[in-house]
Structure formats: C-alpha cells, structure tokens
Amino acid sequence: MSERKYDQGYYMMANQCVYHHTGELDQFSKYDIVIVFSEDAENYIGNWVTGFGFVGVRFPKDTTRPLTDEEADYYSGRATRINSQPPQRIGTREELLEKPVGQGVTK
C-alpha cells in the first residue's frame, strides 16, 4: 500500500513509535495524544501533540487507537505548546472524535 494522506489531521492515542527521520525514538510507556496526517500499510504517520515537536513520526497501527470519550473530554479546548512555539488549541470534543477524510492513495 502506498501512503494515504488525509484532508486534515485527526487525533489518536499512541504508545509506541517505530521510526523518525532523525533516528529511532524510544517507545513510551503510556498512551499520549498524536495527530495523524497519513498512513501506510503498517503505520499512521504524524506528530506528537505535546513534547519536543517531532514530526513525521511513524506510529504502528496495532499500538495506536482512537481517543475514548473520556480522553476527548479531557483534551477538549485545551492548549498545548511545543518548545518555544506559540500555544495551539487542540480542538473541541467533536474535532477530537472525528474520523479521517482521505484524499486517496498517493506515493
């Protein structure tokens, strides 16, 4: 499968990553919020919403899941800040629970 890109990013929870262009990143022990912009056969590809600002990270599909209702309620309307960037609003509960809208399969 080629990489499939989405019209806009959508939120998921991940607790492992397998690759980043700067090298291997350690797996983390608890689920953390990520935003996904594309996927391939085995991985979702996106960014952590919090932390050091790594982008283009590959999150395995078998360890990445949609947000629960409780997680969506927790993150709804919150702001996050990565490094020295300005704070960004995460999204409303409805935005956090949206499913992806694909642009089709691209390479």
Q: Which fold has domain 4-97?
A: SH3 type barrels. (2.30.30)
pLDDT for 88 equals: 80
Q: What is the pTM of this model?
A: 0.77
Q: Do 16 and 104 form a contact (C-beta atoms < 8 A)?
A: no
Question: How would you write the pLDDT of the chain (107 residues) with one tens digit per residue?
Answer: 577 787 778 889 998 887 656 555 555 557 888 889 999 999 999 988 877 767 788 899 998 999 999 999 998 888 887 777 788 888 788 888 876 655 444 44
Q: Please, which residues have CB within 8 angstroms of residue 24's CB and are 6 or more apart in sequence? A: none
Going from N- to C-terminal start, the domains of the chain cover: 4-97
pLDDT for 90 equals: 82
pLDDT for 61 equals: 92
